[in-house]
Amino acid sequence: MKFYVIGDVTVDHLYYLEHFPTPGSEITPTRLNMQPGGAGGTISVTLARLGHTVTLAARVGNDPFADYALAQVRESGVSETAIQRDPDHLTSTIMVMQTAGGERAMISDGAVNRLLDPSKLKKKDIETADAVIISAYSLTEGSQRDYSLRAIEAAKGAKKTVPVFIDLGTGAVNKVGTRLVRDVIGADYLTLNQHELLALTGTRSLSAALTQLGKAGAQRVIVKVGKMGSVVWTREETELVDAVPPEKPVVDSTGAGDTFTAAFAHAILNGQALAQAARSANAAGALASTTVGAQSREITAADLEKALKQ
């Protein structure tokens, strides 16, 4: 299958702490790491490892971090024909701080990604794809939003069916809030976690939020609910899909949600029913959490099959 992915690529700086620093204090991390990241990069790499042909649309700077951010993209065989180079801005970075108690905070600079030039979008690339996946960070602001909206329009206008998957992120929802609904409601499949769902709709319960999205025109919504698994929703039914226990202890959840989305799209395009695809995605997200870094755990179709049998 051919996927066209629009989203960020970044360099993730991971700091593991006993506790978050207070203003004016200085602390030493228990360990630290640096890994390629970004929702677009992680989704693309996961799809390529699952055997698909993938084109990634993203923007990086002309700096040493660019090659590092794209290291796994290149290694996994993702096409870079839609990667843009910016002469004036640095490649995006994210600082992730995670405590021993599981709390997480991030400092993110997505500036260069937001400058993705829509004039360079090739409509034919969208029309010939089997699916388009868009990270909602791409819909928050700047020319990257225009690029994403044009891609959605091209997919909807294609002669053949090109389903659109949109994956939300906490930062995207926090930045745009309920206004983001107008851009994501037309997705064939909308994936997000419970916090993002409530913030997106301005409601206080899962059921109220899903009802509101249904009234707004949502078709299929998949909600990640952590250790409980995920909830799949259509206008006809709502179902809780149990979590799949990871093969090893969880050490880092960075990128697990992006891996979930990629595995879900993989399963849907391979003909799996909605709940079955969500269970495959649950398994992929769990596997991704067993190593440090968003793209470190290579997940193949065989890995998913093995995890689902356990």
Task: State residue 252's pLDDT score.
Answer: 62
SS (H, E, C) the chain: CEEEEECCCEEEEEEEECCCCCCCCCCCCCEEEEEEECHHHHHHHHHHHCCCEEEEEEEEECCHHHHHHCHHHHHCCCECCCEEEECCCCCCEEEEEEECCCCEEEEEECCCHHHCCHHHCCHHHHHCCCEEEEEHHHHCCHHHHHHHHHHHHHHHHCCCCCCEEEECCHHHHHHHHHHHHHHHCCCCEEEEEHHHHHHHHCCCCHHHHHHHHHHHCCCCEEEECHHHCEEEECCCCEEEECCCCCCCCCCCCCCHHHHHHHHHHHHHHCCCCHHHHHHHHHHHHHHHCCCCCCCCCCCCHHHHHHHHHC
Task: State residue 251's pLDDT score.
Answer: 64
Task: State residue 126's pLDDT score.
Answer: 98
Domain ranges of the chain: 2-8+38-88+113-309
Task: State residue 100's pLDDT score.
Answer: 80
Per-residue pLDDT of the chain (310 residues; tens, 9 = 90+): 999 999 999 998 989 899 999 999 999 999 898 989 899 999 999 999 999 999 999 999 999 999 999 999 999 999 999 999 999 999 999 898 988 877 888 888 778 999 999 999 999 999 999 999 999 899 999 999 999 999 999 999 999 999 999 999 888 998 999 999 999 999 999 999 999 999 999 999 999 999 999 999 999 999 999 889 999 999 999 999 998 887 777 666 666 889 999 999 999 999 999 999 999 999 999 888 777 666 778 888 888 887 887 7
What is the fold of 2-8+38-88+113-309?
UDP-N-acetylmuramoyl-L-alanine:D-glutamate ligase (3.40.1190)
Task: State residue 294's pLDDT score.
Answer: 64
Task: State residue 127's pLDDT score.
Answer: 97
Task: State residue 143's pLDDT score.
Answer: 97
